[in-house]
Homo-oligomer: A and B are copies of this chain.
Amino acid sequence: MSLRILNIPKPLLLAPMGFVSGGALAAAVSAAGGLGLLGAGYGDAAWIREQFRLAGPARAGIGFITWSLARQPQLLDVALEHKPAAVMLSFGDPRPYAEKIRRSGAKLVLQVQDVETTREALAAKPDVLVAQGTEAGGHGGQRSLFALLPAVKALAGKIPVLAAGGIVDAAGFEAARALGADGVLVGTRFIAADEALAAPQAKQRLVQAQGDATLRTTVFDIVRGYDWPAHITGRALRNRFSDSWHGKEDLLKNRLSEERSRYQIAAEKRDYDTAVLFAGEAVDRIDSVLPARAIVERICR
């Protein structure tokens, strides 16, 4: 594997997970030889500034939800003031931002979910592609990494391709390499990192989760009021809320004001029987909360 373009000793990026990938985690992943990406999520200028401050002198990048960034494009300027090593965009047309990112000196990392989004991404001339399999936690598409990665690699030419989704250990790293990946982007495993912003209760729940624990669903986006594009769903731990509403999305929409109030109270209480906990399919292979450095070393031996 080679990721010279990002100038990192280990070909591993921290996925920019909203509310999880803050400055401390990003810095720890970079210090361990990878590259940490802050998770800008739905966007907040003060949060972005604070997390870059917390990252200190470490190299860090940042990731945006492209369709959300389109509603607050000034957030990209806030990020670029901090000279990020890389900017990653996912879920939406990257072309309006590509040139500005490249001119700033940041590398442009584009995440794709299928052949169609790969073609769109290539039109923006990325420095790095991330092939995100449906195994991944949080928002993503339908195609599985095993078949997606070679398909993206075949289109990418000389552009490095990272594998994302379901990678939590050295076996996953080696499998990604066998399929042609130039590196990996890892999310869920780092939720259970000491430095992650996730609540302690969330980390414990991840550690305890067993097989078949996740599903792809839109019910958490509906209740939270986020307007994701069709075909993009969020992979999360199954819980009482998803058991109640998955498959009954229209009913949920009809009862939204009542359910939203209940949801928000639960989320404030960190009651993960109701509140969402995004997690990838390999969550059953995560059995301890570790320092980010140890996680990097377990994956990139």
**CB of A131 to closest CB in B, whole Å:** 12
Provide the A113-146 mask, 1 if CB < 8 A to any CB of B, else 0. Answer: 0111010000000000000011100000011111
Known: A178-B178, A180-B171. A282 touches B116 (CB 8 A): no
Copies of this subunit: 2
Q: A115-B284, A150-B171, A284-B151 are in contact. Are A133 and B144 (CB under 8 A)?
A: yes
Contact present for A175 and B179 (CB under 8 Å):
yes
Of all chain B residues, the one with the shortest Cβ separation from A117 is B212
Interface residues of A in 247-283 (CB under 8 A from B): 280-282
Q: Chain B residue with minimal CB distance to A155?
A: B211
Q: How far is the CB of A291 from chain B (nearest CB, A)?
A: 23
Q: Which residues of B contact A280 (CB under 8 A)?
A: 147
Is the CB of A210 closer than 8 A to any CB of chain B? yes
| A212 in contact with B115 (CB, 8 Å) | yes
A293 on interface, CB distance cutoff 8 Å: no
Docked Cα-Cα span, A172 to B145, in Å, equals 11
Q: Which residue of B lies closest to A216 (CB)?
A: B142
Given contacts A146-B282, A172-B179, 15 further A-B contacts (CB under 8 A): A114-B211, A115-B211, A135-B144, A143-B281, A144-B281, A146-B281, A147-B281, A151-B211, A151-B282, A154-B285, A171-B179, A175-B175, A175-B178, A175-B179, A177-B178
A-B contact pairs, 7 of them (CB 8 A): A115-B284, A116-B211, A144-B145, A146-B165, A150-B285, A151-B282, A177-B178
